[in-house]
Amino acid sequence: MSNPYEGTIVDATLIAAPPSTKNKEGKRDPEMRQSKKGNDSHFGMKTHIGVNAASGLVHIVVGTAGNVSDVTQAHALMHGDEKNALGDAGYQGVEKRSENLGKTVMWHVAMKRYKRKALSNNKLGRMMEKLEHLKASVRAKVEHPLHVIKNLFRHRKTRYRGLAKNTAQLFTLFGFANLVLAGRRFKVTETRVAT
């Protein structure tokens, strides 16, 4: 595996939309969709991000309806200069998709959970487990900006109707998240002005 830090880590998260029909039209937001994650159903949009593997900063944000598959947006999350791309198990088969054929990006996608649990306890199985652990440790950087957006900024629900306005807000939020993360990385300390 070449240096995974010379690349992009991709991921997506669901942002809930209010299911209320108490509006002029008497309908839910028509651009939001129902999606399932595990056994839970969610109504809203999906935010897809591309994160620099070295810095952990977001470089691309794409907003889609909640029912859009993660793997269909992988090509849109690349800046074009990466040698490697990492994704969770939701990106299985990404290198075989027509929009990714002929690209020189080396994909490192997590193994499906059931396959990982079925690894044998021999030398090859232990090496495969170590490889999966290595990929997960690099891929973990993509969770930091999502944590900032959802937990620190408390952006867990859409604020507007429609994908365009909500995606525009996400551009701003991820820009501020990059500032928070860069500040942590370079140990920027807070200074208070006495009043």
The domain locations on the chain are 7-185
pTM recorded for the entire structure: 0.84
Tokens (6 digits) for 34: 């129902």
Question: Cα 103 vs. chain centroid, distance in angstroms?
Answer: 21
pLDDT > 70 in the chain, percent: 91
Are residues 60 and 49 in contact, defined by beta-carbon separation less than 8 angstroms?
A: yes
From the number of C-beta atoms within 10 Å of its C-beta (0-12, 13-18, 19+), residue 168 rates as: middle
Q: What residues pair up with 33 in beta bridges, in sequence order?
A: 44
Q: How far is CA 82 from CA 66, 103, 108, 188, in A?
A: 27, 10, 12, 28
Per-residue pLDDT, averaged over 153-164, amounts to 93
Phi, psi of 58, rounded to the nearest 5 degrees = -75, 130
108-150 residue pLDDT tens: 998 888 787 888 889 888 888 888 888 888 899 999 999 999 9
